[in-house]
Structures are given as C-alpha cells and as structure tokens.
Amino acid sequence: MRFLPIILLAGLVSTSIAAPHPHKNGPAGKATAATKNAQKGPKGGAAAAAAAAAAAVAVGTGTAAVAANGTAAAAGAEEVEDPNKLDLAGVFGTAVALQGGDIQQDVLFTKSAVGALEVEFKNAAGRTLTVTENKTPAAPPTGFQALEPSSFKINLAEGADALTLQKVDYIIDATSPDIVGLDIANGQIGKLCTETNTFVIDKALGELEFEADENELTLTVTNMNGEWGIFVPVAAANAAAVAGGDAAAKAAAAKADAAKADVAKADAAKADVAKADAAKAAAAKAGEAAVGEEGDTDVAGKFNIAVATPAGNQKTDILFTGNEAGNLEVEVNATVANAVTVVNGNPSGNPPTGFLFVDPQSFKISTKSATAATDVVKVDYIFSAAILAAVDPTQGRIGKLDVATNEFVIDGLGEFEFEVEENEWSLTVPDLNGEWAILIPQAAVL
C-alpha cells in the first residue's frame, strides 16, 4: 500500500478516530455547527452567523426544565439525544413519511406569530404523518386562554398505539409581543373531546414539561392522533388570585376543576375517536399527494450503523467521525426514503499508478434501496489543515475500487469538484454502493 507520508508520520494507519459530533440541536451542537460553517468560508458565512447567534442564546439560557407539577429538573440533567435523530420540515396538510428503525424524527411545522408545533416520533415501524391546521377551533377550557390561535389535527395513518416515542410539542417565540404578560411556564397542551367538543387538560393525557431553555411545552403521549390546542392560564384570573383570591377567581378555579371531569367522557369517546381516525386515514391514503419539501439536514454519522435519510427531496448531509486527515461526508437528496451504512477499514486494493492514499482508510458504502435516476447522491471528503499544507489540493481525487483489477479508479465515476472555500473534494455519483478511497498524485505532494 502507498500512503501519503504525512499520514504515516501521524500514525494514522492505526486509525486515530475523533469523537462524534454533538447533536446539532443542543447548545453545544449549535456552537459546533457555527464553527464548522465558519471554517467553510464564504459559502457557510451566513449560516455561521445565524448559528453562532443561536448558540450564544442556547448556551447562555441554561438547561432547567419545569415540569407540569412546578418542579424543575436539575441543571445539566438534559436528556442525551440520539445523534442519528432527523429534523424534518413539516407542511400543514402534506403527508410526511416517517422512518422506522427506532430513529427519532422531529417534524417542525410552519411557525405562527406566537410559535411552532413540533411532533416527535420514534418507532420500530414507520408511519405516515399528516397535520392539518384548524383556524377556528373550539373554545379554550375554563380558566384558560388560547396561546396559539389555531389548533392542530394530528393523524398517523397507520395508528398511534404502542409507539416507542410520541410527543406533541409547542416551541414559543420568546420575542413575540403576543406572549407579554402571559404565564407561559404554566402553559398547557389540551386535547379535544369530540363527544363534548371541548378541549381537555389533564395529567391523564401524558407527561407535560416546560423546557425553559427552549421556551418549549412538550407533552409525552400514548396516542397523538386527535386535535390539540395550546393554552395558558387566563391573565386576569391569575392577577385576581395573586391580589387576594376574590370570588370570581375562585369560581373560575372551581370550573377548571370541574372541567377535569371531562376526561372521563373523553375516555368513553375513545371508540368514536378511533373510528374517526380510521376514516381520516382512509381518506388520507386515498387522496394524499406527497409533495416534497426541500430541506437541508446535517446528521452526525457513525461507521457500521445505518443512517436513515428522508423522502421528499430533503437534502441530508451525513458527516462521519474523522481522523487527522479529514472526514467522509455522504450527501443524499432523494424522492424515496433510504438508509446509508458506511464501514471503514483498510483499503481492499491498490491506488492507481502514481497515486497515494490521503486517508489510510477506505469506505465501503451500501444503501438499503437502489438510487433512483432523479436522486442526487455524493461522496465528499473534507480534508484537514495538515493535508492542505502537505499537498496541492487541486489534484485530489475520490476513487472507487474496481474489483476486477483490485485497483481504485478515478475516471468515469461522476462529476468531481474541488470546493476551495470548504476544503472539500466532492464527487456526484449515480450509485453510492461500493468501496471508496481518497487519493492524491505523488507529484502533488509538496
């Protein structure tokens, strides 16, 4: 085998692997994302500025979470998120294909003036999610007012029972003037009882938390199918109770307690809700049109572990753990959902004549399903500053193993680009499947 001398000196043949990237949605992950974008130069400049601002806010606000009973989670006790979690963009009235494999997917819907609905899903088998916005919902429960003017009708076409994880979340815009004077920390997520046409707020619906660091109400439920509303205590009632608990406030509290009795009615109406859900599912399957919503999701990949990629032409960049030479990245923009697995190891063949391996590893990529002709898939490599200083990067190449000759080839594979501002070699290919290696001509070594 022929390796770049600087790699041999660094001891990379023994494969020194860096730590995985933190989750991009946590405070540390946002800071990392900001740094990565900044390093990518002009192309990532705008993203770097936005990410850096978000990271500063996230890191500065702490991690306390207030539960429904008013207790607070200890700082630093933040739940560790799955690094393979997918963040998807949802559109009201448009079906979203959710993946199985117990991979968490958070679907964030179009923001209103107050905030945005988010649906969290994780299960062994996939589901089809459709959320519709009701701009003329039923009245709030007694003692509460609507925080979000609309309600949201959630439907998992294949059913919502016995899932690994399902949550109904609402992320409040802290800058919205509509929340001034409102007690958002005691906000509630209620479910519509179809029998009485009233929203019900009760612990029987699930575990409610207010995550102060993200201004987020999150309700872990056992069945998300149904219509949901977002509420806060009536501001006037709160002021009266603080001033001395006058009769009007006490009456409102009594009515609020009485409203909890509606939970029993809601339980009795479950059969009707199930029938309605079944009808909605049949209608959704008969008439839904899967309209792709373009997005760009960054995922931290791990070798030997399949990474799910969403349907609907939502571009997914999977950045794998790296070493002193750099990081492999796989890009997928496909109409149909898929899964990508990468296995790293010693190259199975030799480099082309006159070439050296930049990275002592090769990368065996496999996909669960074949790549469609309209899909865009890429094999990328983001090289380190050490490599940049050691070679002429304009001559770098990405090669694929020809099993017949047991040699990596660099010609006829697809469209190759050297992205100067990102220190990245990028190869657009018709098929990801195969063994890939990162190569440089011996003559390009400085």
Closest CA to 323 of 3, 1, 33, 41: 3
In this structure, what are the phi and psi dihedrals at residue 362, rounded to the nearest 5 degrees?
Answer: -110, 170
Write down the pLDDT at residue 269. Answer: 59
Q: What is the DSSP string of 311-343?
A: SSSEEEEEEEP--SSEEEEEEEE-SS-EEEEEE
Q: What is the DSSP string of 190-251?
A: EEEETTTTEEE--GGGEEEEEEGGGTEEEEEES---EEEEEEEE-HHHHHHHHHT--HHHHH
Q: What is the pLDDT of residues 167-178, one digit of tens each?
A: 999 999 999 999
Indicate the pLDDT class of residue 18, thresholds 50, 70 and 90.
very low
Of 108-117, 121-130, 260-269, the one with minimum mean pLDDT is 260-269
Distances (CA, A) of 60 to 172, 175, 204: 18, 16, 34
Of 199-208, 252-261, 380-389, 406-415, the one with minimum mean pLDDT is 252-261
Structural domains in the chain?
Answer: 5-20+302-444 (2.60.220), 27-60 (no CATH), 66-287 (2.60.220.30)
Max Cα distance, the chain (Å): 90
How many beta carbons lie within 10 A of that of residue 328, not counting itself? Answer: 26
Write down the pLDDT at residue 72. Answer: 39
Q: Which two tokens stand for residue 30?
A: 């946002």
Question: Whole-prediction pTM value?
Answer: 0.42
Indicate the pLDDT class of residue 292, thresholds 50, 70 and 90.
very low
Sheet holding 415-419, edge to edge: 295-301, 314-320, 326-333, 376-383, 424-429, 415-419
- The answer on pLDDT for 135 being more than 60 is yes
Indicate the pLDDT class of residue 296, thresholds 50, 70 and 90.
confident
Helix axes 247-259, 235-243, angle to 10 degrees: 130
